[in-house]
A and B are shown apart, each in its own frame.
Chain A
């Protein structure tokens, strides 16, 4: 099992460019999450999907959109990148349900916006 995979690993964008971060999991998990991690800020939730076909905003959704393409895949799109979106982005998945179970993280995408 590959677990949670993310592409790309690194990306440099210019202000105003768009891009999509891809995430896939092979653990048959129901829930998937997108976080960003900035120095001193910890992990902050951008969007999550509790099940296939549903998405909800997290703590910092502005400037991002998501798509839960199917049970395996959850993508994050930046429509018009800004320097404030320079960060490390992590995708995670969990079996789902309440209370929430362990979240498993992908390797991350390091994004720099110039």
Chain B
């Protein structure tokens, strides 16, 4: 059974601080990894995708991938109240499908 694990939270972070979200997965052969953001009552939207070991930066967001340790993380710098949402980690386990974690609920405290 291929699994994607996330801490459900809630994770509370002061405004302006760095929010760190973590995700572990069960298959070392996984190829592609995604972070989605989902506001309450809305559909998921892509934040970042990452395919290679290391860091990938996009504005205030940085995705970090470590395939040997089987984890992927998302850092949000200068957290804003608008970043309050549930963050979903998704992993491809070698087919056409993505497997999603249950999500981490992030709250930014003004």
CB distance from A57 to the nearest CB of B (A): 11
The distance in angstroms between the C-alpha atoms of A102 and B48, with both chains bound, is 9
Question: Which 9 A-B pairs give the minimum distances between C-beta atoms?
Answer: A42-B102, A105-B43, A99-B32, A43-B100, A99-B31, A50-B96, A42-B100, A102-B46, A105-B44
Known: A43-B44, A105-B44. A99 touches B100 (CB 8 A): no
Q: Which of A33, A42, A50, A90 has the most chain B CB atoms inside 10 A of its CB?
A: A42
> Which residues of A lie under 8 Å from residue B45 when comparing CB positions?
105
**Which label, helix, strand, loop or mixed, suits the secondary structure of the A interface?**
loop
Q: Which residue of B lies closest to A96 (CB)?
A: B96
> Which residues of B lie under 8 Å from residue A102 when comparing CB positions?
34, 46, 49
Q: Which of A41, A58, A99, A101 has the most chain B CB atoms inside 10 A of its CB?
A: A99
B97 touches A45 (CB 8 A): yes
A contact residues vs B (CB 8 Å cutoff): 31, 33, 35, 40-45, 48, 50, 58, 90, 96, 98-108
Q: Indicate whether B107 reaches chain A with its CB closer than 8 angstroms.
A: no
Q: Which of B39-97 contact A (CB under 8 A)?
A: 42-46, 49, 51, 88, 90, 92, 95-97
The distance in angstroms between the C-alpha atoms of A90 and B100, with both chains bound, is 13
CB distance from A94 to the nearest CB of B (A): 9
> Which residues of A lie under 8 Å from residue B88 when comparing CB positions?
42-43
A100 touches B43 (CB 8 A): no
